[in-house]
């Protein structure tokens, strides 16, 4: 038996034969052309065909993994239309009088190298996206037949890496798991794998050898271990682990419809985080009691221009109606930092995480904020909507927000447009400043929601997207827990409720501590809801000694 180790990005255990995914080799040659106009026409036609193929992929991903995860194929379409990308190809064809295939390949190399050299892990991951769309263009230009994504029997897929377009096209009835030499946990492929719930391990490097083709293997997505030709003892151990995981999932399903209440009678609201309208399906399927965080910025990220009031209204209304009277907390636009949009024309910043982002953009672009608030209030007539504001650092910001919200309500009232005048207004506690002055902020709003990802980043002065700092990123740090407890105490002293919507909310090691703090609501990814409900129902808060 041989054991190799990588990084697990999707939990689960899979047994099967290893099959290497062979990408179609495309040897691009450089040759002179006499008619550059004809060559550019070939490029434009190939680009049009690629756009059509990407739209088909988008629709397939939309139905299988939801709008948020399908968005990568819209991003790929945008990249195909990117002016710099297209101009580079055009310039190489015309200035060097070369074939379009070579110009695309050369541009792909240049852009990929540029992204790979950047410090931001998210931008580094975009290097693979440039390669993906460029290979598609070259594939079309060379007139190659379509890549096969089917397999004759169920197997575990091995590859150097898998592009998002390849992952979504795999016949999932035949894919038991996948193992890649490269890849990052920030890549779209990893995100898609999680949503598709296929056990996955990345970053095994050169340990994954070609002569493992056809071997019997076991993948443990929890530990990141891959067992080649497992011995009897390992096989039996992993078989029992898989049986236990299957049993746990069956038991979790029995918790649907059960209250989220502790052994000593403490009730907590258990909500879901979503990024798109279609994600409400997963929230309902996992029996979330409401939506604790609807990331409205995805309405902006998936558009080529600012979404109109009507477009936003329809999205918010649909979510409210789908949740059928359950609370839906919608966070206002949180653009900036790692989420940038070209048409916003945001200035380049040395430290964007601490720069022009979120509520700072809304308060300095009041027409943008005004439009979103009108859409939100209009949608409140169709369900139980609450509005939450991110990146708050002062009481003055909250007072300014409330004034704008009051103006919107007055406008709608005068125009005879129906809305719910009792919509709750809350803020995110995601900066140390907000936690420290939470006694003052609590007098201005109806609720708090703690964004633990940014609160950890700002409290520990750590860029949470920098993999080199993983060992220093400690979300259980006593300072963070003290800030959360301070905010919880101040919320309750002032008669408002407090929730947690960051990743820490799904950390089962912290559930007892949050219950002991008196946290009223936890909002997590839909797939974490039932696991968290189970933990809550097994806890006696009176016997808990809080951390921190």
438 and 328 assigned to the same domain: yes
- CATH number for the domain spanning 313: value is 3.20.20.60
Boundary of a domain, candidates 78, 113, 141: 141
Residue where a domain terminates, one of 233, 254, 278? 233
DSSP symbols for 44-63? HHHHHHHHHHHHHHHHHHHH
The whole-number pLDDT of residue 341 equals 67
- State residue 47's pLDDT score: 92
> Residues 460, 477: contact at Cβ < 8 Å?
yes
Are 351 and 369 within one domain?
yes
Residue 496 located in a structural domain: yes
> Which residue has 């798109």 as its token pair?
276
Residue 195 lies inside a defined structural domain of this protein: yes
In a domain, 28, yes or no: no
93 Cβ partners below 8 Å, 6+ apart? 33, 36, 39, 40, 43, 99, 100, 103
Check whether residue 353 and residue 465 sit in a common domain. yes
CATH number at residue 45: 1.10.274.10
Q: What is the pLDDT of residue 175?
A: 84
How many domains are contained in the chain? Answer: 3
Looking up tokens 């047994």, which residue turns up?
Answer: 15
The answer to whether residue 188 is catalytic is yes
Position 237 scores a pLDDT of 95
Can you give the pLDDT of all 548 residues of the chain as single tens digits?
Answer: 999 999 888 888 999 999 887 665 567 888 899 999 999 999 999 999 989 888 887 787 776 656 666 777 788 888 888 888 899 999 999 989 999 999 999 998 888 877 777 666 666 667 778 888 888 888 888 886 555 555 668 889 888 877 655 665 666 677 888 898 887 664 555 655 654 567 889 888 889 888 898 899 999 998 999 999 999 999 999 999 998 888 887 778 888 999 999 999 999 999 998 887 877 877 888 899 999 999 888 788 767 778 899 999 999 999 999 888 899 999 998 876 656 666 777 777 666 667 777 888 888 888 999 999 999 999 999 999 999 999 999 999 999 999 999 999 999 999 999 999 999 999 999 999 999 999 999 999 999 999 998 899 889 988 765 656 767 778 889 999 999 999 999 999 999 999 999 778 988 999 999 999 999 999 988 878 999 999 999 999 988 876 76
Q: Are residues 153 and 136 in the same domain?
A: no
Residue 251 lies in a domain: no
- Same domain flag for 96 and 159: no
Question: How far is Cα 86 from Cα 82, in angstroms, rounded to an integer?
Answer: 6
The verdict on 426 and 477 lying in the same domain is yes
What would the two tokens of residue 61 be? 């991903």
What is the model's pTM?
Answer: 0.62
The reply to whether 490 falls in a domain is yes
Catalytic residue among 76, 139, 155, 188: 188
Dist. CA 404–CA 214, nearest whole Å: 64
Burial of 443 (0-12, 13-18, 19+ CB in 10 A): middle
Same domain, 357 and 427: yes
Question: Residue 159 sits in a domain of what CATH number?
Answer: 3.50.30.10
**At 274, phi and psi to the nearest 5?**
-135, 160
Residues 313 and 214 in one domain: no
Q: Are residues 57 and 8 in the same domain?
A: no
Domain carrying residue 49: 36-141
Q: Where is the domain boundary, 141, 173, 192?
A: 141
What does the pLDDT read at residue 180? 87
Residue 123 and residue 155 in one domain: no
In a domain, 29, yes or no: no
**In this structure, is residue 240 part of a structural domain?**
no
- Dig out the tokens for 284 from the structure: 């309902």
Q: Are residues 159 and 279 in the same domain?
A: no
Is 404 domain-assigned? yes
Residues 367 and 506 in one domain: yes
Sheet strands (E) in 333-445? 384-389, 424-429
């Amino acid at each position: 038996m041989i054991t190799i180790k990588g990084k697990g990005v999707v939990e689960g255990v899979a047994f099967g034969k290893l099959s290497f995914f062979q990408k179609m080799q495309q040897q691009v040659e450089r040759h002179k052309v006499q008619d550059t106009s004809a060559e550019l026409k070939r490029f434009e036609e190939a680009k049009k065909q690629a756009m059509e193929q990407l739209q088909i992929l988008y629709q397939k991903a939309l139905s299988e993994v939801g709008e948020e995860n399908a968005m990568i194929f819209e991003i790929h379409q945008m990249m195909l239309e990117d002016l710099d990308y297209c101009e580079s190809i055009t310039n190489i064809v015309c200035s060097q009088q070369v074939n379009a295939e070579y110009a695309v390949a050369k541009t792909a190399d240049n852009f990929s190298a540029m992204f790979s050299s950047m410090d931001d892990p998210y931008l580094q991951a975009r290097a693979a996206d440039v390669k993906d769309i460029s290979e598609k263009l070259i594939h079309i230009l060379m007139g190659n037949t379509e890549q096969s994504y089917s397999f004759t029997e169920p197997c575990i897929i091995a590859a150097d890496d898998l592009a998002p377009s390849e992952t979504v096209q795999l016949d999932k009835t035949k894919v038991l798991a996948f193992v890649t030499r490269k890849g990052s946990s920030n890549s779209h492929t990893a995100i898609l794998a999680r949503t598709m719930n296929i056990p996955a391990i990345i970053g095994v490097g050169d340990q994954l050898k070609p002569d493992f083709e056809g071997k019997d293997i076991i993948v443990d997505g929890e530990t990141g271990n891959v067992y080649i030709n497992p011995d009897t003892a390992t096989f039996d151990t992993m078989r029992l682990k898989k049986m236990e995981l299957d049993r746990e999932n069956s038991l979790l399903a029995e918790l649907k419809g059960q209250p989220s209440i502790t052994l000593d009678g403490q009730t907590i609201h258990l909500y879901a985080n979503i990024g798109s309208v279609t994600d409400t399906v997963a929230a309902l399927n996992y029996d979330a009691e409401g939506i604790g965080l609807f990331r409205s910025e995805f309405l902006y990220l998936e558009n080529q221009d600012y979404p109109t009031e009507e477009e936003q209204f329809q999205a918010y209304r649909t979510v409210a109606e789908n949740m059928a009277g359950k609370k839906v907390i919608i966070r206002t636009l949180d653009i900036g930092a790692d989420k940038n949009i070209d048409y916003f024309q945001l200035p380049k910043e040395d430290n964007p995480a601490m720069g022009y982002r979120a509520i700072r953009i809304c308060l300095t672009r009041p027409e943008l904020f005004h439009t979103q608030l009108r859409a939100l209030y209009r949608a409140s007539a169709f369900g139980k909507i609450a509005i939450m504001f991110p990146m708050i650092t002062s009481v003055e910001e909250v007072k300014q927000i409330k004034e704008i919200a009051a103006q919107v309500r007055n406008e709608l009232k005068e125009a005879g447009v129906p809305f719910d005048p009792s919509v709750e207004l809350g803020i995110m506690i995601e900066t140390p400043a907000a936690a420290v002055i939470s006694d003052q902020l609590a007098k201005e709003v109806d609720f708090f929601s703690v964004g633990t990802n940014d609160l950890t980043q700002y409290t520990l002065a750590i860029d949470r997207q920098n993999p080199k700092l993983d060992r220093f990123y400690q979300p259980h740090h006593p300072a963070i827990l003290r800030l959360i407890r301070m905010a919880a105490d101040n919320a309750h002293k002032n008669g408002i409720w407090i929730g947690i919507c960051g990743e820490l909310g799904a950390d089962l090691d912290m559930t007892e501590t949050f219950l002991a703090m008196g946290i009223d609501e936890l909002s997590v990814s839909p797939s974490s809801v039932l696991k968290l409900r189970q933990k809550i129902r097994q806890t006696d808060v009176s016997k808990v000694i809080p951390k921190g």
